[in-house]
Amino acid sequence: MRALWCAVALACAAPGAAGAQAVAAARDAGLALLAAGQADSAVRLLAPLAASAPTDASAQLAYARALSARVGARRTRRILDVWAYRGALARAHAAAPRAPEVLEAWGWFHALAPWWTGASAAAAERARDTLLAVAPYRGELLAAGLARIRHDAPAAEAALRRALAAAPDSAPAYLQLAVLLEQQARYEEAMALIERYSALRPDDRQGLYLRGRIGGAGGVDLERAEAALMAALGMRRRPGEADSAQVFTALGRVLAKRGRLPEARDALRQALLDDPRDTDAKELRDSLAGPR
């Protein structure tokens, strides 16, 4: 950790090209901490970097991401962190107003942040329109997200299909569209989409999880759904993927639909050991318990 702080000190002090290289090194070190689940350490490392490089969009965006992760992981200081997050994003947007990664973050902030931060739907839509112009695929993903927030499923589906047409091997477009179809109980279509995705990335853990979850929800190809979930349980989880409790809950649903109730209860028991707050696991466990 001392070496990381030395990198930050160098980034804050070094001029010219050396300073730019040091900023990049310190930023990457902070993002590595964030990827390792150390949001507090990432914020502490990136805060002085962001203060010393107010016009470096990548440093501001990295700091904003660390703050966002900390807001989601703690109950104290949330308001201060949200304001700091907004400030970092605003500086990133001022420094690079047409950078795709900045536009994505700026659009999502305005779509999801509380009103007292100054967030607005109009600003989110402007970010979406600019992103569609500079990076159409990423713009369609943002457009789909904004449509889902508005509960406009047809618009979200149209945007995701355009994204998939632009990037046929895109994991986000495949997986988000499959989830959208699942939410509309269009299980056969969702599974067909996951089949196409699995042909491209057969060892993708999130794809395996969704195959199992959608199969269990719709009663579609339950044997393969079970196999996919068992495979997912044997793989290391990456950031943003379903946690083990979610996978065990999906497995419990599949096993229950296959009539293997003792095994289903065991899976749900494990889900609740991994995450005692998992409401889906609790509801399914209670439904399998029968009348008392």
Residues 206 and 102: their CA atoms lie apart, in Å, by: 26
- b or e along 110-130 (b: 16 or more beta carbons within 10 Å of the residue's beta carbon)? bbebeeebebeeebbbebbeb
Token digits of residue 120: 């607005």
* Residue 24: per-residue pLDDT: 86
Token digits of residue 68: 């966002």
* Residue 79: per-residue pLDDT: 83
220 φ, ψ (degrees, to nearest 5):
-105, 120
Please count the CA atoms within 13 angstroms of the CA of 145 that sit on its side-chain side.
22
* Residue 7: per-residue pLDDT: 45
For 276, other C-beta atoms within 10 Å of its C-beta total 10
Inter-residue contact 153 to 180 (CB < 8 Å): yes
Residues 89 and 82: their CA atoms lie apart, in Å, by: 11
* Residue 292: per-residue pLDDT: 45
* Residue 77: per-residue pLDDT: 65
* Residue 163: per-residue pLDDT: 96
Q: Reduced to 3 DSSP states, what percent helix, strand and coil does the chain have, rounded to the nearest 5? A: 80, 0, 20
Per-residue pLDDT tens, the chain, 292 aa: give them. 444 444 444 444 444 444 577 788 888 888 888 888 888 899 998 999 899 889 999 999 999 999 988 887 655 567 888 899 999 999 999 999 999 999 999 999 999 988 888 999 999 999 999 999 999 999 999 999 999 999 999 999 999 999 999 998 888 999 999 999 999 999 999 999 998 998 889 999 999 999 999 999 999 999 999 999 999 999 998 878 899 999 999 999 999 999 999 999 999 999 999 999 999 999 999 999 865 4
Closest CA to 279 of 226, 287, 225, 182: 287
Closest CA to 208 of 253, 254, 242, 164: 242
Closest CA to 170 of 143, 207, 133: 207
* Residue 101: per-residue pLDDT: 96
